Structure formats: C-alpha cells, structure tokens
Amino acid sequence: MSGLTGTLAAPLAPEAQQPARIYRIGVLTPGTRVAGSSPSVTSNFLPETLSELGYVNGQNLVIEQRFAERKIDRLPALARELAQLKVDALVAASPPAIRAAKDATSTIPIVMLLSYSDPVELGFVASFARPGGNITGVALAAEPTMAGKRLELIKEVVPRAARIAVLGTDEANSRTQVQWAEKVAPSLGVKLVVVEVRNGDYDRAFATIVAERADALSVVASVILSTDVGRIIQLAAKHRLPAIHEWREHAEAGGLAAYGGSVAAFTRRAAAYIDRILKGANPAELPVERATTFEFVINLKTAKALGLTIPQAALGRADRVIE
C-alpha cells in the first residue's frame, strides 16, 4: 500500500542543542482523557514522541490538555482558554476541534490532526502546498470513503454477515462516513444497522446493535470513538461481535481487525510539525502532509476467542496478521 507524502517525511532526530526555554503546547480534543497504554494520539503518544525530540514534559515542556469529554459544544470555550494561555502551538484533533481553535486565534500556530476529511474543503487551509494562515499539520487520506472500504473488509473477514452495524457519533464527519458505508452496502448484499453513541453510553449502543441482530461491526473514524476504543473492544468481545476499527493499534489492543493508519506514525508526523514551529517555522509555509499509508490488520487471537475462522482470502489480503 502507498506511503507518506509531504516535506516532513525525513526521520526524526533530537537536536544536539536542547531548547533552553520552556515551551507550552496546547492540546484540544473532543474526546476524553485515557489512562494507561490505550492508543490515544493526544493523551499518550504525543508526549512520548516529543520527548524523543528533546521536549520533556515537566522540564522544558508544558502540555496543556483540554478534553471536551464527548461534548462538542464545549470545544469553543476550551479553545479560547488555551489561546488565553498564549501557548506556543496548539494541537487540534478532529474537525470540530480545529474549527474551534481557528475561531479562537489567528496568530497562535495550530497543528491539526485530521482523519478522512479535506482541510481545504473545510476552509482550514488555502491549499495543501501553501496553507496560508496559522494552520498546518497532517491529514490522513483526505476523503471519507475509508468507511466503505472497512465495510467491504469486515464482510470479507465474516462472509456470513448479512447485517453489519456501523458505530458512529453525532459529529458531521461521522455521519458523512456512514453515508459512504450506505453507498457500498447494497453491492455487498448487507443491511446496515446505524447506531450513534450519545454521551458515552456504549452499553445502550451495543444493546441496540444486539437487538438488531447485527452479525459484525464497523467503527467509523472518530477521535471520540478512538479514545473510547478500550470500551468498544470490551463490549464487542462480550457480545461476540466481530469488529473492524480505524487504527492498526486498535487491532493490536484486541480488536478483530483494523484498516487505516497507525496512531504512532500519525503522532510522529504531528510532533515533527510542532518541532519545526517551535524552531521558528511559519505554519503558513509548511505544506500539509497527506498521510496515505494504510494497513489491513487481522488479530487471530481475537478471532479464536470469537470462535471465528478467517477465510484464507482475507488473510492473504492482510498486511499484518497478529498471532
């Protein structure tokens, strides 16, 4: 499958001369704070990756994290709060967070983390090559068709699946992905059961999925769902529901399958932007990087726990099989 494009694809390496000042980075996300080793860009991977570049949280770096706790309408106030702190750069994950950050400041550099949306179409940047304002960052395949691809792959993994649940949120980008899945479903001969999680009530969402007799599950790309992936994997296992997720790390964490990028790789690219900006680069002139590396991962341990035999054709298509 294809690789990264953009001007920041060189390997990261810490500068010999460590920054003398203390930098302050703001992080804005609609999700929740996650603990332990859960695969979250903002909570875990970003501090780790910045430390590789010589920015150590609590020493020469302060990370101000603001979580909307799944309440999108809280993002504007949280963005203004970070802007008032005069952070050196602001990391915004998801379209609603980027929009809130953009509305809160036109001067603080914003590093966006964007999955399956077009930043030009959304009005965040003038172009990929020359963003033109105070926003730059990483866009993961700027199109929402991945939802249709995941539906195709989970059908291949579970050929008997006649009813497939699509788990989303009330975010606009989530609903766009659902629409793409709905376009693909007829060609696969499956009926979709669309369920939106409200206020983090996953028990209710899965109760609906079970009541609708879904044979498998496809989870849309969403910062909210990504930060709650531990709960989603747990409930999928409880209800013996084969599920496909967004990030490679989600399959590594116990999901049956995943198709998309890597949280770790995505975060390394974001850290590269932060590093460049802290060293004086102008975000208006830093091209937006299009991350286009996708992996299809199957977890055979999870398949065994579900009593599921994965067809050889699906295993042959996988980029990685976890045994």
Using only the alpha carbons of the chain, give its radius of gyration: 19
For residue 173 the two structure tokens come to: 């980008």
| Residue (of 244, 186, 187) closest to 215 by Cα position | 244
CATH of span 23-142+262-291: 3.40.50.2300
Both tokens assigned to 68: 């909307």
pLDDT more than 70, % of the chain: 89
Query: Average pLDDT over the chain, rounded to whole?
Result: 90
pLDDT of residue 292: 78
Record the pTM.
0.86
Q: Any idea what the Cα angle at residue 288 is, between residues 16 and 295, rounded to 5°?
A: 90
What pLDDT is stored for residue 264 in this prediction?
Answer: 87
Residue 194, C-beta contacts closer than 8 angstroms, at least 6 positions apart: 165, 166, 168, 178, 182
Domain 23-142+262-291 identical in fold to domain 146-260+295-322: yes
Fold (CATH) for 146-260+295-322:
Rossmann fold (3.40.50)
User: Token pair for residue 185?
Assistant: 């479903």
Dump pLDDT digits (tens) for 264-287.
888 899 999 999 999 999 999 999
Enumerate the domain spans of the chain: 23-142+262-291, 146-260+295-322
Judged by DSSP in three states, 67 sits in strand
Q: Which is nearest to 120 in space by CA: 106, 135, 108? A: 135
Residue 32: its pLDDT value, please?
86
Check residue 115 and give its pLDDT.
Answer: 79
Segments in the chain below pLDDT 50: 1-7, 9-10, 19, 37
DSSP 248-260: HHHHHTT-SEEEE
Q: For residue 250, what are its two tokens?
A: 């989600």
Residue type for position 230: G
pLDDT at position 3, please? 46
* Element spanning 224, H or E: helix 223-227
